[in-house]
Structure 1
Amino acid sequence: MSQIITLTTDFGLQDQYVSSMKAIILGLAPDVRLIDISHDIPAQDIMAGAWVIRNSAFLFPKNTVHLVVVDPGVGTERHPIVLKVNDQYFVGPDNGIFSLFYSEFEYEAIKLNKSKYWRKERSRTFHGRDIFAPVAAHLINGVSLKELGDPIKDLVTYHWAVPIGDKDGLQGWVVHIDRFGNLITNISEELIEDMIGRRKVRIYVGNTMIDHLVNTFGDVEEGDPAAFIGSSGMLEIGINKGNAAKLLSVDKGAQVSLVLQK
């Protein structure tokens, strides 16, 4: 193992939840390196968590363990699971948080049902501390997947809508809004190259029209909107030194259209 455990949650830092998980991990694996990916996932927003972990996990060394807890169904019948995807391990609830892996990568999934690897005193409402954290530590310590539980095939899956392309252009949606208010869409750079190429387009989002793509939001005047390919490889709408979500009054799920100009 890499001796790295990452943590991604919707817990924030006001309360003791994150430090409690770290305490359990360090009690079992005192030499582990703990890396916080994010604790500012919007509360109970499973797909926001899915987006963040999908775009960060594979930058880490092989055999890193990713502890992901955005778990509005904690204490219900949903399963705790661990996945192995591309030599990375993911520990968390089977509630769709790992959905963005399922159609793109081969994976091995285990239902965590061996309670000897959990904390002895367990709460019904804090599986991050009592199940997921100790399991992550045991993985780092070399416990195999088959020791932690049994294989599971039918996993909870959420799907984002797929962009639509036709002779007039492309239509997609805002799937994520980052801390800066940038509107991240489900329209990939590859799809734009395939469907649009070098032809001129206008980009429409909310009540705003942008007349061309640029390399970065710094290519437009301060306060102006810009359409560009962001670090995730997806089309983004941002405002130079501004918050696009607020200034354009756009929320997740908003339609984004690239219309070809004749």
Structure 2
Amino acid sequence: MGHPLLFQTDFGLADGAVSAMYGVAYSVSEDLKISNLTHEITPYDIWEASYRLIQTVQYWPAGTVFVSVVDPGVGSTRRSIVVETSSGQYVVSPDNGTLTHVKRMCGVVAARVIDESVNRLPNSGESYTFHGRDIYAYTGARLASGVITFEQVGPEVPVDSVVELPVVEARREGDLVAGTIDVLDVRFGSLWTNIPREMFLALGLGHGSRVEVTITNDTRHIYKNILVYAKSFADVYVGEPLVYVNSLDNIAVAINQGSFAKAYNIGTGNSWKIQIRKAPKIIYE
């Protein structure tokens, strides 16, 4: 019996690219069970692809194969790679930083470069722009269906050699915690930070506490306000901003039934900084 196979790309669904990947996979085995993680990654955004993987990978059974194709360097000298996570899943991807968060937060125990002389769609050797179909979907399907083992993917390479994107670590500085806005909860516009819940709670905060949130982008001051630390969105009025713990056990900022990102034109990445501290007491004279 095979294992689940999941696809993630920045292709969208407006044309036949994703369908072609499905077709290649089913040509390997019609018994495969294929699901989509997402095909709405922002074009060329390797960081977002990395983050979407860590949202998902560890919740699937051991043996599950993920194929992630966000590949602005397609056809270049970047490697094509498969890694095994510490919890037994496999990720097939260009070695361009897509595996950053899986490597850091889930753990990678082994890595292999795809041997394209074996694990490449037959008669596709002169195509250099659709590795998602010709190499990644094909190899992922062969691995998920049991046609090949992980060892047959290709030569093993050191885990330390798997490419990682630059990461700014969250930190505590006295009475505040600071980090970056890593990614958006896209549909609802919430800001997901890299500040862990435990670091935040070390400030002595509980649900209902008021916190001061400051957001900057490089040298520009974007936002500063007093928000409530809420257990859920229902704890604040519609249209009211809040701080909460997201599904990755990190701190997030949102507007109840509104988009914080759109309201304040906020983006993501290492240049988007956030600081949170216990709200200062206001003394009226």
TM > 0.5 between the two? Answer: yes
**1:226 and 1:239 in contact (8 A); partners too:** yes
2:236 aligns with 220
Q: Does 1:149 align with 2:154?
A: yes
Aligned length: 262
User: How large is the Cα RMSD of the aligned pairs?
Assistant: 1.7
Contact map agreement 1:6 1:67 (CA 8 A) in 2: yes
Aligned to 2:28: 28
The aligned runs of 1:102-141 (5 Å cut-off) are 102-104=103-105, 105-122=107-124, 123-141=127-145
Q: Which amino acid aligns with 2:150?
A: L
Q: Does 1:62 align with 2:47?
A: no
Identity %: 29
Q: Deviations over 1:35-60 (max 9, x none)?
A: 10100010010010111111101111
Q: Which residue of structure 1 lines up, in the alignment, with residue 218 of structure 2?
A: none
Unpaired segments ≥5 residues, structure 2: 216-221
TM-score, structure 2 normalization: 0.87
Indicate which of 140, 154, 173 corresponds to 1:166. Answer: 173
Task: Establish whether residue 81 from structure 1 lines up as the match of residue 66 from structure 2.
Answer: no
How many angstroms does 1:249 deviate by? 2.1
Q: How far does the alpha carbon of each residue in 1:130-186 deviate from its partner, in whole angstroms, 9 at most, with x for none?
A: 001110111123211222200112121113211121112111111101221111101
Task: For 2:6 and 2:77, locate their aligned partners in 1 and report how far apart those are by CA, in whole Å.
Answer: 26
- The answer to whether the aligner puts 1:202 opposite 2:212 as a matched pair is yes
- 1:8 Cα deviation from its structure 2 partner: 0.8
List structure 1 runs of 4+ shifted beyond 6 angstroms: none
Indicate if the aligned counterparts of 1:210 and 1:227 stay in contact, CA closer than 8 A. no
Deviation at 1:114, TM superposition (A): 4.0
Question: Which secondary structure does the structure 2 equivalent of 1:51 belong to?
Answer: helix
What is the TM-score when the length of structure 1 is the normalising length? 0.94
